[in-house]
Amino acid sequence: MLRNRTGVILLTALAPSVWGTTYYVTTQYLPPDRPLLAGVLRALPAGLLLMAGTRRLPHGVWWWRSLLLGTLNIGAFFALLFIAAYRLPGGVAATIGALQPLLVAVFSAGLLGDRLTVRTVLTGLTGVAGVSLLVLQSGARLDALGVLAALGSAVVMATGVVLSKRWPAPAPLLATTGWQLVAGGLVLLPVALLAEGPPPSSLTAGNLLGYGYLTLIGAAVAYALWFRGIRELPPTDVTFLGLLSPVVATVVGWLALGQQLTAVQALGGALILGSLVAAQLRPLPALPQPART
């Protein structure tokens, strides 16, 4: 059982690790100033591909549940993240987003009956501190709308994670992943058209390679692993793994883009890794009490 749990954790951790490469792929391979288009082309084709492969459609309540979960986990999350990214320095948005494990813990207590422990709160605060040290720059400006959007993105994603746990899907994992990706992509499509206009008239080979990576690896594979983790692990444990994303983004920027890595950032990365490892540890069973004679 322990080995199986460890395997699920490691596979689930691949999803936020892949998402940590999104900034590099977006800046190096995609057309500039089209993040919402990237979100649509990341989600919608991947979802259609998974649905075509599984040949399963939602039925009954899963039509509206898929729409709601896809909106929370993908469509609304991407849109709010886009607003936060444009109105806040990346470090501020990432630090606010690091509140997500704490939000999931609170929502899980209310919707799933899970116990909110002091250890979870302290571990979550350590993760937030680690992300702030890793990515937050001194003198970063704050924008009220940007802060609300960043907080909103964390809230909708946390809600989506907890509801995904509350509503176990009757269909295979790849099918339900496809449903959510299609729903999220369709919700995001009109927002992208209104905010960014029509797609570019021509795309380079590099653009196509970048979009292909985000579709196949960043969405189809990563979200399948993520939703599998939600099915098999406590939701709070899963969202702590999401803190890997800024760590991977920082390491990729250091290795591939020559960005500077300071001792403070290294400390922040160590705090993040420590918090997510601590979040996965199970309490030791109580020792049996000796029988009274």
Judge whether 288 lies within some domain. no
HSE-up (13 A, CA, CB side) for residue 35: 15
* Residue that has been written with the tokens 């196509």 in this structure: 208
**Residue 70, exposed/middle/buried by CB under 10 A (0-12, 13-18, 19+)?**
buried
Q: What's residue 10's pLDDT?
A: 93
Q: Is residue 4 part of a domain?
A: no
Domain assignment present for residue 109? The answer is: yes
Annotate 163-231 with DSSP letters as a single string.
Answer: HHHHS--SS-HHHHHHHHHHHHHHHHHHHHHHHH-SPPS---HHHHHHHHHHHIIIIIIHHHHHHHHHH
By the 8 A CB rule, do 140 and 190 touch? no
Phi-psi region of 47 (alpha: psi -120 to 50; beta: other; left: phi over 0): alpha
Asked whether 134 and 265 are in contact (CB, 8 A), the reply is yes
Q: Are 140 and 87 in contact (CB under 8 A)?
A: no
**Is residue 54 exposed (0-12), middle (13-18) or buried (19+ Cβ within 10 Å)?**
middle
pLDDT score recorded for residue 286: 47
User: Is 5 among the domain residues?
Assistant: no
Residue 171's alpha-carbon distances to 161, 177, 186, 238, in angstroms, are 17, 10, 21, 21
Write out the chain's pLDDT in tens, 293 residues.
Answer: 446 888 999 999 999 999 989 888 988 998 888 888 989 999 999 999 999 999 999 999 999 999 999 999 999 998 888 888 777 766 777 888 889 999 999 999 999 999 999 999 999 999 999 998 988 776 656 778 888 988 999 999 999 999 999 999 889 999 999 999 999 999 999 999 998 998 888 889 999 999 999 999 999 999 999 999 999 999 999 999 999 998 998 898 888 888 888 899 899 999 999 998 999 887 655 445 555 54
Per the domain annotation, does 43 fall within a domain? yes
Question: What confidence tens digit (pLDDT) does each residue in 58-86 have?
Answer: 999 999 999 999 999 999 998 888 888 77
Q: What is the pLDDT of residue 199?
A: 87
Domain count, the chain: 1
Structural domain containing residue 89: 15-280
193 part of a folded domain = yes
Does some domain include residue 289? no
Cα(126)–Cα(277) distance, integer angstroms: 12
In a domain, 1, yes or no: no
